[in-house]
Structure 1
Amino acid sequence: MIKKAIIKNFDIKKTLSSSPNRICVADLGCSTGPNTFLAAQNILESLQLKYQLENDQKDFQIPKLTFQVFFNDQFTNDFNTLFNSLPPNRNYYACGIPGSFHGLLFPESSIHFIHCSYSLHWLSKVPEQVRDRNSLAWNKGRIHYTNASKHVVEAYASQFAMDMMSFLRARAEELVVGGLMALLVPAVPDVLLPSDTTNGTEKDLLGSCLMDMTKTGLLREEQVDNFNLPMYYTSQSELKAIIERDEHFSIEKMEKLNNPKKHVQMPTVQMRVLYLRAALEGLLVKHFGAEIMDELFKRFSEKVAESSFFLNPENQKSIVLFVLLKRNSN
């Protein structure tokens, strides 16, 4: 899909007017590889093909291209592992850019293509209202918005909208006019509640394990009350409305990835537990300490095993949106 998008939508003549032979690509939320390297190579090969197709036109010749790839993630990301894993035969210059992608990362009009995969569901922070005992959105006894009150859900949705607007405003400054941005966004269908998907329900189940541990004295209840996951799963219509409100980008494509259920299903309890632990353990350790992690995920695995919901492929209803945006001239 990215290859087709570049061939169809990337205007080399226009985007390279300020830097005739250099293309800068950024992967936001890169983690430590190797997925980020596969994505970068796919993007560069597609850009190279577009370059060759353009050069075949007799009336237009472009100098040989030089590629620079910027790998971005939070300051706490393991950039040492990232750099030690760089492909030895890469055809690009690599650079690390630590910092939150909810703000500016690059100089004005310096990037030609931005890629961001499975990262935009992470919020810049937990909504303040859900930790405020005096707020209607206080999320007592829960760690996420699944099965919570409408006030909690609205607080999370509002935080996502603010974060997404900040993300788009920053990218609008950094991308050249005509530059492209490809986003892969974990989401939920428009017609489903968070509690209808395994993504939401497993967070709720993990929270119940933490509350069980307060009853046996392993944790204090206020510790759980003060912990919420900074994650939000948008819907297609919700995301579309935010992008259109920003007005800096035109939506060239927005569609669900064709992921058959057998490819996204976690077929065993162990796989589901390891997957969730890999994603969330860092946050949990920071708040609760490392000593309770084995006990917490032991309890979680037992609850997953007792349920018929999580391992049923019919309940794997979460989706991934492929969004292709082009920087407008405004």
Structure 2
Amino acid sequence: MASPMNGGSGTYSYARNSTWQRNVAAALENTLKEAVMENLDLQKLLCDSDTFVVADLGCSVGPNTFHAMEAIIDALQRKCDKTTLEFQVAFNDQTGNDFNTLLASLPVGRNYFAAAVAGSFYGRLFPSSSIHIAHSSATLNWLSRVPEGLANAAKIHYTGAPDAVARAYQDQFEEDMGIFFRCRAREIAAGGLILITMGAVLSRDAQHRVAAAFTFIESILIDMVKEGVLAQERVDSFNIPIIFPYIEEIRRLIEKNKCFEIVKMEKLESAGNSENAIMHIRAGFEGTLTTHFGSEIVEQVFVRAIQHQHKLHSTLTSTSSTGIFVVLRRN
């Protein structure tokens, strides 16, 4: 399992280096609200209850999760004329997530009760039929683990690797999505929604912009091997557990579960953005790199990354970032 995003509020923290994700969330704010306004039957969903529960799966440390939750709850308040309705938000992430920073930075004057729920969303997290909306943004690309049996010489990702490596990633993604949808089918009340934003590609041979960043980091590690700073086998045994699935593959896996109706699948695309690229990579992947290589090697990696950042910027500005927004309703 990958390590959580960098915690705290320091120079390399996710809280200060997640504007890429924030820009996507901001662009989708009205889309989130429309999904809630158009697809929820609140009277049927709540029945005799006066509490509406929203879960953010893979919340990290903020502030992006707060913006998304506020957008959803704003839509719910506009849709519902029930003055007694109260809101509960369950902020979920791995047990190693920096929940202290998350909870300490909760918005003042928020109109919901907040709870932290630690654990992988590739497993049960909540009681049966207790969640009304589950939200997941930029999280389902992370696999539950590195696929087994990889012979991935000098490659840290399936991009550019042999076909067998790509198949191993695809098999792991299918397994993980099966578990994810089975668990959410138990936890989400009939008529409830899952709102998903994730990176995806239009064809199997397309490269996602973030994968290009992995190739950049990979080139630095290979240079360190050539210079004798790093052993070849340490690079060979390292793989980043992230996948950018083909959009139609996502549809197939949802339909395979049979518990959710696909209300909407919308392609997302934005121009390449190289602003603060190294800092974003460090905030998101430093923990995963450190777990395998150690902090001393990782510090050298990012020193070299800064020295050669023009190469990364050139790649990122010439690529696009494709994604997908999905609205699912529990049958």
**Alignment TM class, shorter chain as reference:** 0.7 to 0.9
Match of 1:265 in 2: 273
Offset from partner CA, 1:46-74 (integer Å, 9 cap, x none):
0111113xxxxxxxxx4610111100000
The letter of the residue matching 1:108 is S
C-alpha displacement at 1:299, in angstroms?
Answer: 2.7
Identity of aligned residues (%): 43
CA distance change for structure 1 residues 75 and 14 in 2, over 3 Å: closer, same or farther? same
TM-score by length of 2: 0.87
DSSP 3-state at the match of 1:32: coil
Offset from partner CA, 1:160-212 (integer Å, 9 cap, x none):
11111111111000000000110011112226423xx4322221221121122
Question: Is 1:15 equivalent to 2:18 in the alignment?
Answer: no
Instruction: Write the mapping of 1:184-195 to structure 2, written as runs, cut at 5 A.
Output: 184-190=197-203, 192-194=205-207
2: distance between equivalents of 1:43 and 1:254? 18
C-alpha displacement at 1:258, in angstroms?
Answer: 5.3
2: distance between equivalents of 1:284 and 1:307? 18
- Is the contact made by 2:198 and 2:324 (CA closer than 8 Å) also made in structure 1? yes
CA distance change for structure 1 residues 311 and 190 in 2, over 3 Å: closer, same or farther? closer
- Is the contact made by 2:53 and 2:131 (CA closer than 8 Å) also made in structure 1? yes
DSSP 3-state at the match of 1:318: strand
2: distance between equivalents of 1:206 and 1:307? 9
Offset from partner CA, 1:192-246 (integer Å, 9 cap, x none):
423xx43222212211211221222221111111111010011211101110111
Match of 2:65 in 1: 36
- Is the contact made by 1:304 and 1:310 (CA closer than 8 Å) also made in structure 2? no
- Is the contact made by 2:128 and 2:187 (CA closer than 8 Å) also made in structure 1? yes
Q: Deviating runs (4+, > 6 A) in structure 1?
A: none
DSSP 3-state at the match of 2:320: coil
2: distance between equivalents of 1:208 and 1:165? 34
1: distance between equivalents of 2:84 and 2:120? 33
Please, which of 248, 254, 266 is the counterpart of residue 255 of structure 1?
266
Match of 1:160 in 2: 173
Match of 1:320 in 2: 323
2: distance between equivalents of 1:306 and 1:35? 29
- Is the contact made by 1:142 and 1:208 (CA closer than 8 Å) also made in structure 2? no
Match of 2:158 in 1: 145
Please, which of 245, 259, 263 is the counterpart of residue 256 of structure 2?
245
- Is the contact made by 1:20 and 1:63 (CA closer than 8 Å) also made in structure 2? no
Question: Is 1:221 equivalent to 2:250 in the alignment?
Answer: no
Match of 1:108 in 2: 128
C-alpha displacement at 1:153, in angstroms?
Answer: 0.5
Offset from partner CA, 1:252-283 (integer Å, 9 cap, x none):
00011353x2xx5114xxx2211111111101
1: distance between equivalents of 2:237 and 2:273? 32
1: distance between equivalents of 2:175 and 2:248? 16
2: distance between equivalents of 1:7 and 1:306? 44
Higher-Rg structure is: 1
Alignment gaps of 5+ in structure 2: 1-30
Please, which of 117, 125, 135 is the counterpart of residue 97 of structure 1?
117
Match of 2:55 in 1: 26
Offset from partner CA, 1:40-97 (integer Å, 9 cap, x none):
1111110111113xxxxxxxxx461011110000000000001100112111111000
1: distance between equivalents of 2:176 and 2:91? 20
- Is the contact made by 1:115 and 1:182 (CA closer than 8 Å) also made in structure 2? yes
DSSP 3-state at the match of 1:146: coil
The letter of the residue matching 1:23 is F
1: distance between equivalents of 2:156 and 2:205? 20
Match of 2:315 in 1: 310
2: distance between equivalents of 1:20 and 1:307? 52
1: distance between equivalents of 2:133 and 2:316? 38
Please, which of 284, 303, 310 is the counterpart of residue 298 of structure 1?
303
DSSP 3-state at the match of 1:252: strand
C-alpha displacement at 1:287, in angstroms?
Answer: 1.0
C-alpha displacement at 1:6, in angstroms?
Answer: 1.2
Offset from partner CA, 1:97-141 (integer Å, 9 cap, x none):
0000010000000000111111000000000121xxxxxxx1121
1: distance between equivalents of 2:115 and 2:316? 41
CA distance change for structure 1 residues 240 and 311 in 2, over 3 Å: closer, same or farther? closer
Alignment gaps of 5+ in structure 1: 53-61, 131-137
DSSP 3-state at the match of 1:234: coil
C-alpha displacement at 1:317, in angstroms?
Answer: 2.4
2: distance between equivalents of 1:293 and 1:253? 41
Match of 1:123 in 2: 143
1: distance between equivalents of 2:182 and 2:43? 25
